[in-house]
Structure 1
């Protein structure tokens, strides 16, 4: 997992702003006819050194004052401490410069103190805004990371689901075939074995080629045909050119299972499901012949949609009218399986 970036301020910002403040402080001196160039340089150096000190002092103290819970108030005791510390440092700088250089014309100490307080406020507020922006970015990154982990956990649960009702019905069908000594019993067992072998192999993958998904579907449909006979009809009209596109495994099985769950499947009223491609979508279409007493909660389609949003950053489309129900699945052609 990517570590959170430590809060930092660019050296260019620190030194650039300090030099700019020193230059601004020296501009009024240029209009004084009695001041000399050395006096301007010395006065400016005091502002420069003070600005740099204030920057590093506030940056150094920032983690200590925010290690527990950040105070969202702009003006607090940290600012008061910084101002007091700044006044003391400015006094020391002025006295040291006077003793070392014996400046002939120097601003009154009170002017330096006022300048120091102003610089302190500017640096503190600017640093405060930078840190608040940093915290906002980190919170956003943390929320995105948490959301991604949550989606990943949901998807892992979705990959584990193999409908136990399907296994129960398949075993009941197999028992009936064995009892009737149906010669296709052995083929049924092989197809059931193939289907669950595909289930175990594909469960480790996030995306599989459509070609492999159709192979899984072929075994699944064989098992359904053994159970419903001619009451279930699947018409596969998918263009072979689309076989190398990828989708999450068991998408088609879940969609067909959803159709069977909500619609009548019988010899008198066969359920016809069409599978075809339309632009960049794989379409699963069935005629609506709803079962009585079965209410749709939409959970199945929502689970499938969550898988597509997590893995392909796309959503399925549902097109429904009075007679037909269509689910359009987005297809992807760059195959990078994780």
Structure 2
């Protein structure tokens, strides 16, 4: 917590001077008594400034709370009472003619009021700072989330994918293949899934598998046995959640960065390991292909971080490339 030292010292001195105003108006004014009283009050105010800054500074590192901590407030008031008692005793030693009992009662009440004002001022200042920080963080997350959605939409409606799909459909129609009609249905389903799912934050894995199934059907029509997909996910994992189009984008990433041919089939494996969904493929990088994880993976990592706080693990080996996605359970998300 940042408080100007000048503000601390000036306010403490002013409080000390104000505490001596009643003595200035008294008929039996005693300059020495007024000076000692002002010094005692100023010293107390100075000590309580720094003590409360320390107490509330420690509290700022703890989980954020909306309500005031009465334990910290009571501790601050008790500390102030002890400090003021010591200072009142020092005042009594300096001004031995003063009756200690009434004087102590007066300075203790004054100390409680000063301490309470300082604590509440610092608490409200801290709350305002934390609220501003939270609002800025929420705005940053909202901006990043919108950016992630935009990148996701750009990848879902990929013009190259649509162009390749239409070329494959054209070849199938020209050759009179019977798979042309199922191909059109799957292509239609894929873009219908795109429109229905793009506004959702999370969907079930079983729903994501429908999207992936439609996508793989379209790719199999193009690559035939050059693309081999193995789904080994257990039924329990199918009921977990993940951001929409996650698996589709990861499979698309595998196809994009690796050789896919009848002579050299690309094997993609989907399974669960250690509480994570693993997308794995044998590395057979295209010639001239840069060692890049791509925008799609960055998009997925960003969405996982925002939606679940989990981290996407990337294992980029010489033989195997693995993406590990943390499982998101519905009751945890709620």
From the superposition, tell whether residues 336 and 281 of structure 1 become closer, same or farther in structure 2 (CA, over 3 Å): closer
Deviation at 1:203, TM superposition (A): 0.6
Deviation at 1:186, TM superposition (A): 1.4
- 1:34 match: none
Secondary structure of residue in 1 paired with 2:281: strand
From the superposition, tell whether residues 159 and 92 of structure 1 become closer, same or farther in structure 2 (CA, over 3 Å): same
Matches within 5 A, 1:297-336: 297-299=292-294, 300-334=296-330
| CA distance in 2 between partners of 1:114 and 1:317 (Å) | 62
From the superposition, tell whether residues 256 and 110 of structure 1 become closer, same or farther in structure 2 (CA, over 3 Å): closer
- 1:152 match: 145
| CA distance in 2 between partners of 1:315 and 1:84 (Å) | 54
Deviation at 1:250, TM superposition (A): 0.8
Deviation at 1:226, TM superposition (A): 0.9
From the superposition, tell whether residues 123 and 216 of structure 1 become closer, same or farther in structure 2 (CA, over 3 Å): same
Q: Does 1:109 align with 2:38?
A: no
Deviation at 1:107, TM superposition (A): 7.5
| CA distance in 2 between partners of 1:148 and 1:159 (Å) | 16
* Matched-pair contact (CA < 8 Å) for 1:79–1:124: no
222-231 or 132-141, larger mean C-alpha shift: 132-141
- 2:218 match: 223
Structure 1 unaligned regions, length at least 5? 1-69
Q: Does 1:194 align with 2:189?
A: yes
Larger Rg: 1
Q: Does 1:90 align with 2:19?
A: yes
From the superposition, tell whether residues 90 and 283 of structure 1 become closer, same or farther in structure 2 (CA, over 3 Å): closer
From the superposition, tell whether residues 86 and 160 of structure 1 become closer, same or farther in structure 2 (CA, over 3 Å): same
* Matched-pair contact (CA < 8 Å) for 2:278–2:323: yes
- 2:68 match: none
Task: Using structure 1 for the length normalisation, give the TM-score.
Answer: 0.67
Q: Does 1:261 align with 2:190?
A: no
| CA distance in 2 between partners of 1:270 and 1:139 (Å) | 54
- 1:30 match: none
Deviation at 1:194, TM superposition (A): 0.4
* Matched-pair contact (CA < 8 Å) for 1:317–1:327: yes
| CA distance in 1 between partners of 2:39 and 2:12 (Å) | 14
* Matched-pair contact (CA < 8 Å) for 1:246–1:335: no
Cα RMSD after superposing both structures: 3.3
* Matched-pair contact (CA < 8 Å) for 1:206–1:337: no
Deviation at 1:114, TM superposition (A): 2.8
